[in-house]
Amino acid sequence: MVERADSGAVAAETPVVPGVGKRRRGWVLAGVAVVLGGVLGFHRLVPNWPGRVGSLMESFLPWGGALVVVLLVVALVRRSAVALVALLLPVGVWVDTFGGLLLPGEEGGGRELVVVQHNVSDENRDPAGTARALADSGADLVALDELVDPQLAVYEKALAADYPHHVVRGTVGLWSKHPLSGEQVVDIKPRSIEVGWSRGLRAVVRSPYGDVAAYVAHLPSVRVGVGGLASQRRDESAALLGRAIAGESVEPVILLGDLNGVVEDRGLRPLTSQLALAESGFAFSFPAAFPLARIDQVMARSATVGHIRTLPATGSDHLPVVARVTLE
């Protein structure tokens, strides 16, 4: 007769090796750190389909630094040496890409213009207060987007004393302390938008340092949905604007506008490939209540855009941005 094993017998336990779980978690953290570093350093290689995922990721690329901090805290809690070493990769890439923006920027020289860009919002309930705040900046040039009646008349009246020269085309305008000439519409309307849509202008500023071609533009909005980032119209408009600026005969060139995209977004390559960007400052401008990205931009050619910063909130859902542009 075969005897059965006693049901009360304790099964043999599998030996537990101390520290194995922690080491595994350390390698997982290290892998995440390496992937993050790769995304930060080679984001242009991320395909833009489906749903323009590449552009969507690039819209929040600077916030990769926050993910690095989170991973660092977890690695310290886990006391994982391998994760801490791996984190040197994303830290190095982030510092190389965005570290310069943390610096205060150099003092401007004598040949400079102070410029302000602001989407004032077509729902702004205090246009007079917004105008006063912008005038108090002392800027040479003030570019405004989403100008609609009857608010436009308020801006024209409130800014007249400080800015005797201005031009408005469609829903964008430029106010200047210096004379303007050559004012014209810049056609940046995507094919799918109805006639009457006008969000681009160009004028020549007769500055104390010579003529400057100034462009003001408000590119179409983008939307994030279940299908990803809907930026086709924005990208088409950016290409049209880039073509116009490429053919500009007056130098230097300054572009001010709500471009509905960050400078890392590949959809703005027609502009960022030929214009200099701000050398320092993040200046997140949208949304005003909790700024996550700078979609209000100052770019230039044959000129240097120094430190860019935001001004205090106005009645808009955007924050104004101000920068010093040094002319070559």
Residue 187: φ, ψ to 5° = -80, 105
175-208 residue pLDDT tens = 999 999 999 999 999 999 988 999 999 999 999 9
CA 266 to chain centre: 12
Mean per-residue pLDDT for 291-311? 97
pLDDT of residue 184: 98
Number of other residues whose CB lies within 10 A of the CB of residue 6: 7
- The encoded tokens of residue 200 equal 């681009």
Number of other residues whose CB lies within 10 A of the CB of residue 96: 11
pLDDT of residue 21: 59
* Strand-pair category, 253-258 with 321-327: unpaired
Q: State yes or no: pLDDT of 10 exceeds 50.
A: no
**Tokens 């080679």 label which residue?**
42
Number of other residues whose CB lies within 10 A of the CB of residue 75: 23
238-265 residue pLDDT tens = 999 999 999 999 999 999 999 999 999 9
User: Inter-axis angle of helices 20-41 and 64-78, to 10 degrees?
Assistant: 160
Please tell me the distance from the alpha carbon of residue 305 to that of residue 104, in angstroms, as a whole number: 13
Q: Which of 188, 149, 151, 147 is nearest to 168 (CA)?
A: 147
121-168 residue pLDDT tens = 999 999 999 999 999 999 999 999 999 999 999 999 999 999 999 999
The b/e string for 40-59 (b: 16+ C-beta within 10 A; e otherwise) is bbebeeeebeebbebbbbbb
Q: Is 206 within 8 Å of 179 (Cβ atoms)?
A: yes
Please tell me the distance from the alpha carbon of residue 318 to that of residue 266, in angstroms, as a whole number: 22
Please tell me the distance from the alpha carbon of residue 118 to that of residue 133, in angstroms, as a whole number: 11
pLDDT above 90 covers what percent of the chain?
80
Q: Which residues contact 293 (CB under 8 A, 6 or more apart)?
A: 59, 60, 262, 284, 285, 286
Number of other residues whose CB lies within 10 A of the CB of residue 305: 24
pLDDT of residue 107: 64
Give strand pairing partners of 325.
113, 305
Q: At 3, is the secondary structure helix, strand, or coil?
A: coil
**What radius of gyration, in Å, describes the C-alpha atoms of the chain?**
26
18-75 residue pLDDT tens = 555 556 778 999 999 999 999 999 998 888 888 888 898 998 899 999 999 999 999 9
Q: Is 254 within 8 Å of 282 (Cβ atoms)?
A: no
Residue 83: φ, ψ to 5° = -70, -40
- The encoded tokens of residue 5 equal 């094993």
pLDDT of residue 9: 47
